[in-house]
Amino acid sequence: MAEKINKVVLAYSGGLDTSVILKWLQETYGCEVVTFTADIGQGEELESARAKALALGVRQVYIEDLKEEFARDFVFPMFRANAVYEGEYLLGTSIARPLIAKRLVEIAREVGADAIAHGATGKGNDQVRFELGAYALEPGIRIIAPWREWDLNSREKLLAYAQTHGIPIDKKPGQGSPYSMDANLLHISYEGGRLEDPWAEPEEAMWRWTVAPEQAPDVPEYVEIAFKRGDPVAVNGEPKTPARLLEALNRLGSAHGIGRLDLVENRYVGMKSRGCYETPGGTILLKAHRAIESITLDREVAHLKDELMPRYASLIYNGYWWSPERKALQTLIDASQATVNGTVRLKLYKGNVSVVGRRSENSLFDAAVATFEDDQGAYNQKDAEGFIKLNGLRLKILAQKGFNPF
């Protein structure tokens, strides 16, 4: 017999999985279910989730617009670190989970719930991200993960359960997808179906946001992004809130076929997984942020950030956003961004983002020193001789002692 739970807060999308979970929680635990649906820019009509929840007997339905908080407090701090997992993945799904976990816990406190529940499977990373976040914020919280408890382990079984229990499931002809998808303001991801064969090229019809680079405009488009303390604040001279700015970059990137990624990644639970991603605005933003840092960060600070970035990215990917080590890294990263101010000009063309200009009042680029022309004594080239000899001393000693580098 399931342990006694009086009230549970469910992360609810209104789709097949979470609608079945809602009913299953009511039946299995005999508890009241409160639903929480987060609008983090997935581009779907979410009010239908309210109607479905109410139809299933839910009395408290939370639907919240979290787009600005998501961009400001989660996406932008991550981009200050230039975080990329395994050299390619811009962490679009990973960075959304700590925000959802936070609100699940907060709502549980508000309504006096005993537990929270989510629809992540026992094979994926999201179960780890949700639960590590919840435990960090509310150590005594009870977490229910139906995919680790029930035997409804196929779509056919889920549909049969839904039919048996009168659960309304939308069936929209021509709009179904063979892929498991997750979307938010930063990206959209695709897994399953044809993608389970890592040799199979994704179908063009799979991509939802971006045009094919081959079909993108034949004329490049230029865009300027202004930064203040490491965060983008304006596009083409127009100030924007974090969410609006990311939406603007998504539109630009999508129109030019920017941000597609086909990746086999290493999940935290131990398996390799093939996924495809569209991150148009994020791809532009990463390029621009690195460009403004190139003229405003000291060399050793920039290199230290690059050394720490893979660790920071792994912390986010593996679900440790709320950990003390991520917070410590964030403090260092944010301190480095005090002078990361200025504007970057980029060229968007057929899937590519090229930096073509950068300027800043805090620029460390000194043309008088770097010039190939007469530097008027700004740099004494003879100083390089001693510098090279000192750095070459250990190599000379090794050679003298018979060390053979080949």
- Name the catalytic one among 126, 290, 336, 358: 126
Q: Write out pLDDT tens, residues 324-373.
A: 999 999 999 999 999 999 999 999 999 999 999 999 999 999 988 888 88
17 shares a domain with 106: yes
Same domain flag for 159 and 184: no
Q: How high is the pLDDT of residue 173?
A: 41
Q: Which among 233, 216, 182 has a CA at the least distance from the CA of 42?
A: 182
The domain that holds 269 is classified in CATH as 3.90.1260.10
Pairing of strands 352-359, 231-235: unpaired
Integer angstrom CA distances of residue 384 from 175, 235, 370, 381, 392: 65, 42, 14, 6, 12
Of 164, 194, 217, which residue is a domain's last?
164
48 plus 194 within the same structural domain? no
Average pLDDT across the chain, whole number:
95
- Alpha carbons 265 and 299: distance in angstroms, whole number: 31
pLDDT over 70 at 399, yes or no: yes
Q: Provide mean pLDDT across the span 240-246.
A: 98
For residue 48, is pLDDT > 80?
Answer: yes
Domain with 40 in it: 7-69+93-164
Give the CA radius of gyration of the chain. Answer: 25
Residues 223 and 352 in one domain: yes
Q: pLDDT grade, residue 176 (50/70/90)?
A: low
**180 catalytic, yes or no?**
yes
Residue 108 included in any domain: yes
21 and 140, same domain (yes or no): yes
- Asked if pLDDT for residue 221 goes beyond 50, the answer is yes
Coil vs helix vs strand at 239: strand
pLDDT of residue 363: 97
Q: What is the pLDDT of residue 174?
A: 44
**Would you say residue 308 lies in a domain?**
no
Task: Please indicate, yes or no, if residue 169 is contained in any of the structural domains.
Answer: no
Are 101 and 241 within one domain? no
| Residue 289: inside a domain | yes
Distant-in-sequence, close-in-space partners of 186: CB < 8 Å, separation ≥ 6: 41, 75, 90, 92, 95, 96, 246, 279, 281, 282
Are residues 200 and 240 both part of a single domain? yes
| Catalytic option among 80, 97, 103, 129 | 97
Decide if pLDDT at 88 tops 60: yes
Helices 126-137, 97-111: crossing angle, 10 deg rounding: 50
Residue 1 has pLDDT above 70, yes or no: no
Which pLDDT score, from 0 to 100, does residue 368 have? Answer: 84
Q: At what angle do helices 16-29 and 155-164 cross, to 10 degrees?
A: 60
Total number of domains constituting the chain: 2
Q: What is the CATH number of the domain that holds 29?
A: 3.40.50.620
For range 78-99, the mean pLDDT: 98
pLDDT of 3 higher than 90: no
User: Does 98 fall in a domain?
Assistant: yes
Structure tokens at 126: 């999201």
Distances in whole angstroms, Cα of residue 223 to Cα of each of 228, 294, 348: 17, 18, 8
User: How much of the chain, in percent, has pLDDT values that exceed 90?
Assistant: 87
Given the residues 17, 260, 273, 274, select the one marked as catalytic: 17
Q: Is the dihedral of CA 274, 104, 19, 62 positive or negative?
A: negative
Burial grade of 396 (CB within 10 A; 0-12, 13-18, 19 or more): exposed
The answer to whether residue 393 sits within a structural domain is no
Whether 317 is covered by a domain: the verdict is no
**Both tokens of residue 258?**
């920017």
Tell me if residue 360 is catalytic.
no
What's the CA dihedral at 377, 382, 388, 389 to 10 degrees? Answer: -150
* DSSP code string of 13-79: -SSHHHHHHHHHHHHHH--EEEEEEEESS--S--HHHHHHHHHTT-S-EEEEE-HHHHIIIIIHHHH
DSSP symbol at 309: H
Helix (H) or strand (E) holding 9: strand 7-11
Check if 39 is active-site.
Answer: no
What stretch of H or E contains 402? none
- Check whether residue 146 and residue 261 sit in a common domain: no
Could you tell me which residues come within 8 angstroms of residue 272 by beta carbon, excluding any fewer than 6 positions away?
A: 264, 265, 266
Indicate if 139 and 258 belong to the same structural domain: no
Which of 164, 188, 217 is a domain's end point?
164
Amino acid residing at 349: Y
pLDDT attached to residue 396: 94
In this structure, the dihedral spanned by the alpha carbons of residues 158, 130, 280 and 197, taken in order and rounded to 10 degrees, is -50
Q: What is the pLDDT of residues 183-192, one digit of tens each?
A: 999 999 999 9
Looking at the fold, whether 28 and 114 belong to one and the same domain comes out as yes
Which is the catalytic residue, given 50, 72, 73, 180?
A: 180
Residue 186 lies in a domain: yes
Structure tokens at 304: 């230290």
Per-residue pLDDT averaged across 215-232, rounded?
98
Name 308's Cβ contacts closer than 8 Å, sequence gap at least 6: 81, 329, 332, 333
- Are 204 and 349 contained in the same domain? yes
Residues 132 and 201 in one domain: no
The question of whether 97 is a catalytic residue gets the answer yes
